[in-house]
Amino acid sequence: MKKFNVTGLCVPEKHYMADISGKINKIAGMVDEGLYFTINRPRQYGKTTTMLMLSKALNEKYVVIKTSFEGVGDGLFDTEEKFCSEIFGVFADSVEFNNEELAAKMRALENGSTDFQSLSRAITGLIRELGKDIVLIIDEVDKSSANRVFMQFLGLLRNKYLAMNSGEDKSFQSVILGGVHDIKNIKLKIKEEKDRAFNSPWNVAADFKVDMSFSESEIEAMLKEYVEDTGISMGTGLIAKEIRRFTSGYPYLVSRLCKNIDEYLDRDWTLSGLEAAIKMTLNERSTLFDDVIKNIENNPELKAVVYEILVEGREIPFNPMAYEKGIMYGILVERDRKLGIDYRIFESLLYDYMLAQQDIRAMVSRFSSAGNSLLIHNGQLDMETALLKFQEFMYEQFRQEDERFYETNGRLIFLAYLKPILNGRGFSFVEAQTRENRRMDVVITFGAQKFVVELKIWNGRKYEEKGLEQLVEYLETQKLNVGYMIVFNFNADKKYLSQWLEIKGRRVFEVIV
């Protein structure tokens, strides 16, 4: 029976997979045009699976060499002579299982080249002998891209591509590189190098604009196949929509949530089951999450930007050059010409990570008694009492702090406050789509209950009224009749008030802290 897969290649015969045939057709079209390009996407984004399916789709029309330098060792790149004499052996290894005749022709070319000039002639000769166009696919190029000899090889391919287009050479129909980094943007750290090929060894590469995230319809098609196999009842459209909303179609995250529900949560294909899967996923150690945190910690500028977006609620104009690393790692994305974090699960991961930092842990410890019986009755969370308790804590613990403290930490303080209350029984996330003008909605689920709490900094009555109207509009989209607002007021003469308001037929409980 098929399974949801989150490790290695996905195989249609063994695993439930989103139907990416449309994406494969688009990429195959680029190959037909004779384009050279890089499929650069973050870790665990389905690149290797896509390349496998692409190579199968191309096999009838082209000779496909699909390989990776990841397992060949660094020795291949020691010298130009070693690389040129052994590269056909690497190619032969990759095709031998399916095409012994082609592998034999390639092995006959081993040790026949001692430099890139003779390697270029050997590639031309092989293509002429086969009488068929060859597509070269190289996966996992990130490690190799830091290597001088590999970049020389790319320079060779570029020169052959240009010569082929002018009718002066034969070369590969298409060359496809796969990795996290976009090779044409890598700046080599090779000193005293005069050859311009090293400055831009892959400037012939076409832009790769194919959306590799799973769409709502692609996710639903996968769920429908699962339902057909298992006979389990499920609202596939609703579940697919919510999975897409939380993951933005990130392939690993989609499969991870589905796998957790199917194998570890008694196949609870409901919204509450999905929320449980999200909590389980966030509590798991994974290579993807480790990479996200590592990339944040290794890049102080990126960490500062993420903090400004998530904690301070700042709007930062989108600039792909200034924030190239964050975009490349899949952390930052453009949203309405502003910089944002596209994956809601990443947002939750990063909030939890920030709450675990030493200076924030002290805040969390102050709220250790928050999740008491006063807030929960018969399994139901009393949000009104919870906010009054938060107001009380803020008065007791933070009334002496200044405006800058609240602007910097107010959001994290509230999330820290929620943590012991929810304590595995509920879930909270930031509604990124409504974050504008330094405002933020926190959506909280607790069993079947759902709450929306808006956090707003006091900037006068006019802005407060605007915030209330925006909250009510959002409540309408969520089909909720009741909402909540916390207003951080920095005036010295402020009063810690609370009140119920009636706005456009909906009720809002507002507290001032």
pLDDT tens digits, residue range 112-146? 999 999 999 999 999 999 999 999 999 988 877 77
Q: What is the pTM of this model?
A: 0.83
- Say if residue 3's pLDDT is above 90: yes
CA 247 → CA 241, 243, 268, 274, 362, distances in Å?
10, 6, 19, 12, 31
pLDDT value for 188: 40
pLDDT value for 222: 97
- Mean pLDDT in residue range 338-360: 81
Q: Name the residue among 354, 353, 324, 330 with its Cα closest to residue 342.
A: 330
pLDDT value for 437: 43
CB-neighbour burial class of residue 510 (10 A; exposed 0-12, middle 13-18, buried 19+):
buried
pLDDT value for 467: 85
Give CA–CA dist 511/513, Å, rounded. Answer: 7
- Mean pLDDT in residue range 405-434: 73
* Side-chain-facing half-sphere of 324: CA atoms under 13 Å: 8
Sheet harboring 482-488: ordered strands across? Answer: 426-431, 439-446, 449-457, 482-488, 506-512, 498-503
Residues 332, 340 contacting (CB under 8 angstroms): yes
Q: Which CATH number fits domain 21-198: 3.40.50.300, 3.40.50.10420, 3.30.70.1050, 3.90.79.10?
A: 3.40.50.300
- Mean pLDDT in residue range 362-384: 72
* Tokens, residue 167: 């009718």
Lowest mean pLDDT among 204-213, 450-459, 490-499: 490-499
- Say if residue 95's pLDDT is above 60: yes
Residues 54, 24 contacting (CB under 8 angstroms): yes
- Say if residue 500's pLDDT is above 50: yes
- Strand-pair category, 380-381 with 333-335: unpaired
- Mean pLDDT in residue range 472-477: 89
Class of domain 364-513: alpha beta
pLDDT value for 184: 58
Give CA–CA dist 343/274, Å, rounded. Answer: 16
- Strand-pair category, 63-68 with 333-335: unpaired
Confidence band of 147 (pLDDT split at 50, 70, 90): confident
Give CA–CA dist 362/416, Å, rounded. Answer: 10
- Mean pLDDT in residue range 469-480: 89
Lowest mean pLDDT among 69-78, 316-325, 364-373, 459-468: 364-373
Q: Name the residue among 479, 476, 483 with its Cα closest to residue 509.
A: 483
Helices 300-310, 344-355: inter-axial angle, 10-degree rounding: 100
Confidence band of 258 (pLDDT split at 50, 70, 90): very high
Give CA–CA dist 477/464, Å, rounded. Answer: 20
- Mean pLDDT in residue range 62-91: 91
Confidence band of 458 (pLDDT split at 50, 70, 90): confident
Residues 201, 154 contacting (CB under 8 angstroms): yes
User: In the chain, pLDDT over 90 holds for what percent of residues?
Assistant: 52
- Say if residue 157's pLDDT is above 60: yes
3-state secondary structure of 97: coil
Confidence band of 509 (pLDDT split at 50, 70, 90): very high
* Tokens, residue 499: 């009140």
Confidence band of 233 (pLDDT split at 50, 70, 90): very high
Give CA–CA dist 237/223, Å, rounded. Answer: 9
- Mean pLDDT in residue range 269-278: 91
pLDDT value for 354: 82
Mean pLDDT in the chain? 86
pLDDT value for 194: 45
Give CA–CA dist 320/339, Å, rounded. Answer: 9
Residues 473, 439 contacting (CB under 8 angstroms): no
Pinpoint the alpha helices (H) of 235-312: 236-247, 251-264, 271-282, 287-297, 300-310
* Tokens, residue 107: 């092995």
Confidence band of 438 (pLDDT split at 50, 70, 90): very low
- Say if residue 55's pLDDT is above 90: yes
Neighbours of 355 (CB within 10 A): 17
- Mean pLDDT in residue range 487-505: 87
Q: Can you give the residue ranges of every domain in the chain?
A: 21-198, 216-284, 364-513
pLDDT value for 441: 78
User: Which amino acid is located at 49 in the chain?
Assistant: T
* Side-chain-facing half-sphere of 391: CA atoms under 13 Å: 22
* Side-chain-facing half-sphere of 109: CA atoms under 13 Å: 24
User: In the chain, pLDDT over 70 holds for what percent of residues?
Assistant: 89
Give CA–CA dist 200/24, Å, rounded. Answer: 28
Give CA–CA dist 344/309, Å, rounded. Answer: 13
The partner residues of 381 in beta bridges, in order of sequence, read 376
Residues 242, 308 contacting (CB under 8 angstroms): no
DSSP annotation of 220 reads H
Residues 15, 4 contacting (CB under 8 angstroms): yes
- Say if residue 195's pLDDT is above 90: no
- Mean pLDDT in residue range 367-383: 74
- Say if residue 343's pLDDT is above 70: yes
Give CA–CA dist 121/57, Å, rounded. Answer: 29
Q: Name the residue among 117, 74, 71, 78 with its Cα closest to residue 94.
A: 71
pLDDT value for 251: 96
